[in-house]
Amino acid sequence: NAGVTQTPKFRVLKTGQSMTLLCAQDMNHEYMYWYRQDPGMGLRLIHYSVGEGTTAKGEVPDGYNVSRLKKQNFLLGLESAAPSQTSVYFCASTTPLNYEQYFGPGTRLTVT
C-alpha cells in the first residue's frame, strides 16, 4: 500500500497562474482533507470531503476549489495564485470508524 500520495512535491508559480494539486489514497477511506501549513503554525483546514461527490469548506477556503469525483482522489485547485498562498499543502484521509488521519508527504508551493 502506498498510503496517501501527493503530486507534485514542489512547485513554483507566478502570481495569477493556476494549478491543481492531486491527492490519492489506496486505503478506501471515505474522508479526505486538504490542509495548509505555514511556518511555525499548525494545520489549517482548507476543504474536506466526507464521500465521493461531496465537498465542504474548512477554515480557510478562499482562493481554493476542490473536487472529489473518485473516492480515492481529492483535487485542490488554485485558479489565480497569490503570494499569500505560498505554503506547504498536506492532504490527509481517514475513516469515520476512528478518525485517525493519514497524511501525504506534502506539496511545497511558492508563489512569486
89 near other proteins, rule: CB under 8 A? no
Q: How far is Cα 110 from Cα 51, in angstroms, rounded to an integer?
A: 30
Q: How far is Cα 12 from Cα 47, in angstroms, rounded to an integer?
A: 22
Q: Candidates 7-15, 68-76, 78-86, 100-108: pick the segment binding other proteins (CB under 8 A).
A: 100-108
Q: Tell me the per-residue interface mask from 25 to 64 with other proteins, x by CB under 8 A, - otherwise.
A: ------x---x----xxxxxx--x-x-------xx-----
Residue pair 11/68 in contact by the 8 Å Cβ criterion: no
| Residues 6+ positions from 54 with CB-CB distance below 8 Å | 68
Amino acid in the structure at residue 91: C
Q: Candidates 14-22, 61-69, 77-85, 98-106: pick the segment binding other proteins (CB under 8 A).
A: 98-106
Binding interface with other proteins (CB under 8 A): 31, 35, 40-45, 48, 50, 58-59, 90, 92, 94, 96, 98-106
